[in-house]
Amino acid sequence: MNLTTPINCQVKGTVQCPGDKSISQRVLMIGAFMNQDMKVDGFLHGEDPISTMNALNQIGAAITVNDNGSVQIPKRDFIFCNCDEPLDLGNSGTGLRLMLGFTSGLGLNLSFCGDESLSSRPMDRVLNPLTEMGADINSSNGKLPIKISSSKLTKKYSYELPVASAQVKSSILLAGLASGSVVEIIEPVQTRDHTERMLKNFGANIEIAKKDGKNIIRLGSSNHLSAKNYTVVGDISSAAFLIVAALISNSPGLEITNVGMNPSRTGVLRALEKMGANIEIKNQRLESGEPCADLEVKQSRLKGVELSGEIIPNIIDEIPIISIAAAFADGKTIICDASELRVKESDRLKAVSDGFETLGVKHQNFEDGMTIMGNPHTLQPEEPIFIESHGDHRIAMSFLIAGLRCSQSITVKDCKNIFTSFPNFIELISSIGYKLEK
């Protein structure tokens, strides 16, 4: 499916942020583990969370979706079971990495598969610590297909992350939770902490401390979790596309409601505000242990900045759309320390660079980032533009947003991947004045 942008548009109005993908997948696993009746509202019905739901149901979770879209996780007569058929996680790297830890802790016999993109992505950063914990795992040189065999994990495990990664951290925590092991994780910098917050919300014995500038998370062996209905807050990664759309289209104003404001995820706001974005945070509150708020984005003149160091793990998923903002900022933006982008759904540094080459945006791509020479003027190509998505939802959406500042239409090829994380992107963006054509 290709999508084509209109020209001479701006976005305005009020829109609700879609549910957070990371939280949606985590609450399914922890909810199923508790084996108590609970309801989940605000769940993101994207392909990635649905893949995780289907995988959990293959091992006996019996999760269902009500007519109104809420998710029901029931109490069952048994906990979980082995499955002869591979658990297919589709395109979901988060789902796969977290399920590997969770099911290793359960001591099940299972195998995992995924689509072509997921099958090409390295999983060693999760497989190595899980193997150290005692999991019996076989893989294809660190990639899918992956098979786990029933094993007992060590009763006490400590691991220092060589690279900051919320997915690796969460995989180990879920392995510890499922196996009843004491787990200590040391991370060099704060990464997104949805798993820790969710475990605490349900009553887990979890402690977080700081030592020598590092973050230390400790999960005890005795965890008596108590289920309660849960509401998923909006995904700030999805909100980032809407925010940048308002900023580069010189919008008279866009309000985005129910945006998750977890401090480990709000780096994108800090980065954009550093660039000069006028973003007002309103109605701050807590929802199921997660902070959220409404955002009002106002017309702003952006400037180039340098983004590197500790903020990068916090904005790693948003760098493609931040790069679009930088392309229309005044001056040079430098992004460093982002080599992890080369092993995402695509090599995102190369994918952004390829798109910029097509659009005529001056830039330089290097091993762990890029330099972008911004220009606040509208792009003036001589004919319509065609850009490859590289099978990556964030690349596809980023360059569709770029169409707001292009005098010709931009057609992004192969946009079906958008439905993995932002299933109502087309309808939502249309509702605020930017009608994409299929």
Q: With pLDDT > 70 as the criterion, what percentage of the chain qualifies?
A: 100
Q: Tokens standing for 337?
A: 């320390």
pLDDT at 255: 98
Whether 117 and 256 map to the same domain: the answer is: no
State yes or no: is 37 an active-site residue.
no
pLDDT at 190 > cutoff 90:
no
**Between the CA of residue 336 and those of 222, 305, 366, what are the distances in Å?**
42, 11, 9
Q: Is the pLDDT of residue 155 over 90?
A: yes
Q: Can you spell out the DSSP letters for 132-186?
A: HHT-EEEEETTEEEEEEE--PPPSEEEEE-SS--HHHHHHHHHHHHHHT-EEEEE
Q: How confident is the model at residue 357 (pLDDT cuts 50, 70, 90)?
A: very high
* Same-domain pairing of 36 and 170: yes
Q: For residue 343, name the pLDDT band (cuts at 50, 70, 90).
A: confident
Instruction: Tell me how many domains the chain contains.
Output: 2
Statement to judge: residues 15 and 124 lie in one domain: no
Question: Do both 196 and 246 map to the same domain?
Answer: no
Q: Taking the C-alpha atoms of 249, 20, 186 and 53 in order, what is their torsion angle to the nearest 10 degrees? A: -140
For residue 27, tell me if it sits in a domain.
yes
Is 199 in the same domain as 264?
Answer: no
Query: Hey, what amino acid is at 178?
Result: A
Examine residue 227 and state whether it is found in any structural domain, yes or no.
Answer: no
Would the pLDDT of 189 be above 90? Answer: no
Across the chain, mean pLDDT equals 96
Tokens of residue 334, six digits = 């430098």
Q: What is residue 222's predicted lDDT score, i.e. its pLDDT?
A: 83
**Claim to verify: residue 240 and residue 217 sit in the same structural domain:** no
pLDDT 10s digits, 49-82: 999 999 999 999 999 999 999 999 999 998 899 9
285: domain CATH number is 3.65.10.10
The stretch 270-295 carries a mean pLDDT of: 97
Q: Does residue 228 fall inside a structural domain?
A: no
3-state SS class at 372 = strand
Q: Is 436 within a domain?
A: no
Which residue of the set 317, 330, 368, 392 is catalytic? Answer: 317
N- to C-terminal Cα separation, the chain: 7
Angstrom distance (rounded) from CA 96 to CA 229: 25
Tell me if 30 sits within 8 A of 220, measured CB to CB.
no
**The domain boundary residue, chosen from 221, 249, 266:** 221
What pLDDT band is residue 254 in, cutting at 50, 70 and 90? Answer: very high
pLDDT tens digit string along 293-318? Answer: 999 998 899 999 999 998 998 999 99
15-61 residue pLDDT tens = 999 999 999 999 999 999 999 999 999 999 999 999 999 999 999 99
Instruction: Please give the average per-residue pLDDT across 132-161, as a whole number.
Output: 97
Residue 164 has pLDDT above 90, yes or no: no
Q: Rounded to whole angstroms, how far apart are CA atoms 206 and 297?
A: 36
Looking at 193, 221, 249, the residue that finishes a domain is 221
Residue 41, in any domain of the structure: yes
The answer on 216 and 239 residing in a single domain is no
Give me the torsion for CA of 389, 395, 401, 402, rounded to 10°: -80
Quick one: pLDDT at residue 310?
87
The verdict on residue 383 lying in a domain is: yes
Nearest-CA neighbor of 26 among 202, 243, 219, 261? 202
Q: What is the pLDDT of residues 383-403, one digit of tens each?
A: 999 999 999 999 999 999 999
Q: Please state the rounded mean pLDDT for residues 97-118.
A: 97
Instruction: Please answer whether residues 433 and 8 qualify as being in contact, where contact means their C-beta atoms are separated by less than 8 angstroms.
Output: no
Is residue 298, in this structure, part of any structural domain at all?
Answer: yes
192, 221, 250 — which closes off a domain?
221
What is the structure's pLDDT at 338? 95
Cα dist from 221 to 154, 174, 205, 396, whole Å = 11, 12, 8, 43
Domain ranges, residue 257: 3-19+234-431
Q: Which residues pair with 231 in a beta bridge?
A: 41
**Phi, psi dihedral angles at 403 (to 5 degrees):** -60, -20
Assess if residue 254 is contained within a domain. Answer: yes
**Do both 313 and 340 map to the same domain?**
yes
Whole-prediction pTM: 0.91
Q: Rounded distance, CA 396 to CA 411, Å?
A: 10
Q: Are residues 8 and 29 in the same domain?
A: no
Same domain, 173 and 277: no
Q: State the residue for tokens 């091993």.
A: 367
| Contacts (Cβ under 8 Å, ≥6 apart) of 67 | none
Give the residue-averaged pLDDT of 162-187.
96
Max CA-CA distance within the chain?
65
Same domain, 210 and 309: no
The answer to whether residues 253 and 193 belong to one domain is: no
How many C-beta atoms lie closer than 10 Å to residue 362's C-beta? 13
Backbone angle region of 310, left / alpha / beta, with phi > 0 → left and psi within -120 to 50 → alpha: alpha
d(CA 100, CA 139): 12
